[in-house]
Amino acid sequence: MHLFKTRSDIEEFEKIPLDKRGLPDNTYQMIQRGAALNPGNIALEFFLQGTRYKNSVRYSYSNFIQKIHQAANMFYDLGIGATDVVSMLLPSVPQAHFTIWGAEAAGIVNPINPLLEAEQIAEIMNAARSKVLVTVAPFPKVSFIWDKVEKIRNQVPTLETILTVDLVSFLSGFKKGLVRLLTLKEKKRIRAGQHKIYDFDHLMENYPDSRLTFNRDIKPEHIASLFHTGGTTGTPKLARHTHRNEVFDAWVLGQYQHIEAGFVVFCGLPLFHVNAVIVTGLMPFGYGAKVVLGTPAGYRGEGVIDNFWKIVEHYRLNTFSGVPTLYSALLNVPIGKSDIRSLNYVACGAAPMPVEVFQKFEERTGVPIVEGYGLTEGTCVSAVNPKDGERRIGSVGYHLPYQPIKTIILDEDKKFERLCAVNEIGAVVIRGANVFPGYTDEAYNKNIWINLEKTRDRWLLTGDLGRIDADGYLWLTGREKELIIRGGHNIDPGVIEHPLHEHPAVSLAAAVGRPDPRVGELPVVYVQLEKNSSATAEELLSFAQDTITERAAIPREVILVDEMPLTPVGKIFKPQLVRNEVQKVYEQTIAGIEGVEQVSVVVAADKIYGMLATIRVRIASGYDRQEAEKRIRQKLGNFTIRFELKIE
């Protein structure tokens, strides 16, 4: 076992060339290799309800491989070849895993977020040229998914077959009969029309489970999956992942985190997301570990958070992944008598972790949090704090072995100028076997690659800004691509701005994130009106609510300004708008604390942190200064923007 405590440990590990490591060629081989460690071990365990978490369905590795064989053989028989696409519109259920790995064995899988609007789903499927769709049959709380399928299935010309997963199969006794009766009328709405429609499980049982019935030599460079990368306008951005991308990222993270057979991983993130598929999917499967899949809605499932520590005890969980909002929610759930000593560590990504949440969680549970960094274009994970070494709060740790990260300075034309010095902020670039080959639409592949110092090595511009300290830790300081991250959900500002620009009263619109202690950021939009226009902020907010198709992107507030801040070349200077929001939120937060008489906040760019809030507070006479300062620091610790506090 190789321990990764410092950057030198990574360098030592990298002395053996990657091509000598004996990685499987594809995801099918990787899961087979994990299953061979002990075919009788449990690969996947699923419970339908958070309130009845002890009622589960188990699949041994032997069963799991059989299901993958059957799914792959079924897809092949439905016309799926190496370049054909199976789209998946499912909640987190076992059939999602059968679909993902079966589709990758036969062709290409395209997981889609069921919470997207129907039109967005149709756009993704058309961009992917989907041939088969696996979705869910009408069932309480998920019937809206079939409603969307019914609405758009005739808008995808390449779609030939629809397979439906009936969740009634996970019920028993009286409840099974009752739900079957309640959904009977809805299921009658499933009409074949121009598509072949089958029950997923019933059809799959007709296929051999001992082997793949077709001959396919799956090469590492073959495309395994197409993941959509968040809210976009126009043609969706579908990131292509090769089999080597997925195998390598799962393998190297498993090495870094010491995943072994018998390890138990909880999956509460949705299976349309790369973290759930790779970190709490392929990685444990590739090492013969067990995945516990908790409810179709994951962490959002009724009773999951309230019973989470009991779930940890019952399943003897060793780790789970989440976003900062999950850890905030778990702080409100008493551990009580639950035995959570099985937890080795937990992982956090997708958004910065507030220091106060980080410290409180570790103090209360005794479980270390490992913060990491990744992006869909890098398959999933690119950097992680060392589980066995020093974890630096606020950083995302070291780059994983064989996938270097650098920070660089770009010139005015976005071309490489030079490498950054230690702790100098620059554009974050990555390279390695985890980096995707590009988007399906070539228009999106322009200007995302860069060569450093006239070398032939191609690096990916991530769109993030950061600095690397003297010990090799990466600290993210901002985003060039201006995404708003709400509870781990990436929101493209264009999804907000483009509809508002259609309003006749709007001259300019600029959406930014407002700091929020619960979800990290909430979208707000600044608007400059056309001359002589009298539209109100309330009218524009109502217009936004009616026209913005992505629910998470609906702005919390419309802020009218006389003039937008502009760069010398006339572009909207969004950093100033972000600083305005930080200033307002910090001032409101501090002003509400007992004993605070006066507060002023100045937010400015910073060479080390990207942005720094300088705060001056006057404490009212008769109040304890140290106690007031403690309360202020606790409140501001729920945010991620650095601050300097001066008490008068």
Predicted confidence band of residue 274 (pLDDT cuts 50, 70, 90): very high
Same domain, yes or no: 247 and 171:
yes
Which of 384, 401, 424 is the endpoint of a domain?
A: 384
Annotate 223-284 with three-state secondary structure. Answer: EEEEEECCCCCCCCCEEEEEHHHHHHHHHHHHHHHCCCCCCEEEECCCCCCHHHHHHHHHHH
Predicted confidence at residue 502, as pLDDT, reads 84
Specify the residue for token string 């365990």: 45
What percentage of residues in the chain have a pLDDT greater than 90?
62
Same domain, yes or no: 122 and 212:
yes
**pLDDT of 185 above 70:** no
Same domain, yes or no: 102 and 211:
yes
Predicted confidence at residue 455, as pLDDT, reads 67
State pLDDT tens for residues 486-538: 876 778 787 888 888 889 888 888 899 999 988 888 999 999 888 788 899 99
Tell me, yes or no, whether 448 lies in a domain.
Answer: no
Strand duo 319-322 + 346-348: pairing: parallel
For residues 448 and 460, is the Cβ–Cβ distance under 8 A?
A: yes
Tell me, yes or no, whether 453 lies in a domain.
Answer: no
Same domain, yes or no: 231 and 168:
yes
Tell me, yes or no, whether 397 lies in a domain.
Answer: no
Same domain, yes or no: 488 and 634:
no
Angle of the 574-591 helix axis to the 625-636 helix axis, nearest 10: 140
Same domain, yes or no: 134 and 224:
yes
Total domains present in the chain: 3
Predicted confidence at residue 634, as pLDDT, reads 87
Tell me, yes or no, whether 354 lies in a domain.
Answer: yes
Tell me, yes or no, whether 600 lies in a domain.
Answer: yes
Tell me, yes or no, whether 32 lies in a domain.
Answer: yes
Same domain, yes or no: 586 and 507:
no
Q: Residue 500 to residues 570, 577, 625, 629: CA-CA distances in angstroms?
A: 20, 17, 46, 42
Predicted confidence at residue 236, as pLDDT, reads 80
Q: Residue 300 to residues 50, 92, 315, 585: CA-CA distances in angstroms?
A: 9, 11, 19, 27
State pLDDT tens for residues 209-231: 999 999 999 999 999 999 998 54
Same domain, yes or no: 270 and 283:
yes
**pLDDT of 440 above 50:** yes
Summarize the confidence of residues 136-149 as an average pLDDT. 85
Same domain, yes or no: 626 and 508:
no
Predicted confidence at residue 232, as pLDDT, reads 40
Predicted confidence band of residue 481 (pLDDT cuts 50, 70, 90): low
Tell me, yes or no, whether 596 lies in a domain.
Answer: yes
Predicted confidence at residue 359, as pLDDT, reads 87
More confident residue, 313 or 605: 313
**pLDDT of 1 above 90:** no
Structure tokens, 11: 């360098």
Domain boundaries, position 642: 577-647
Structure tokens, 196: 């072949």
CB atoms within 10 A of CB 306: 14
Predicted confidence band of residue 604 (pLDDT cuts 50, 70, 90): confident
Predicted confidence band of residue 411 (pLDDT cuts 50, 70, 90): confident
Which of 507, 540, 572 is the endpoint of a domain?
A: 572
Same domain, yes or no: 57 and 181:
yes
Which of 369, 384, 399 is the endpoint of a domain?
A: 384
Predicted confidence band of residue 622 (pLDDT cuts 50, 70, 90): confident
Predicted confidence at residue 174, as pLDDT, reads 65
- Domain CATH number, residue 554: 3.30.300.30
Same domain, yes or no: 380 and 494:
no
- Domain CATH number, residue 147: 3.40.50.12780
State pLDDT tens for residues 353-373: 777 778 889 999 999 999 999
**pLDDT of 564 above 80:** yes
CB atoms within 10 A of CB 14: 13
Summarize the confidence of residues 623-629 as an average pLDDT. 86
State pLDDT tens for residues 221-261: 999 999 998 544 456 889 999 999 999 999 999 999 999 99
Predicted confidence at residue 231, as pLDDT, reads 43
Tell me, yes or no, whether 461 lies in a domain.
Answer: no
Distance, CA of 125 to CA of 367 (rounded, Å): 41
Distance, CA of 104 to CA of 113 (rounded, Å): 18
Same domain, yes or no: 509 and 597:
no
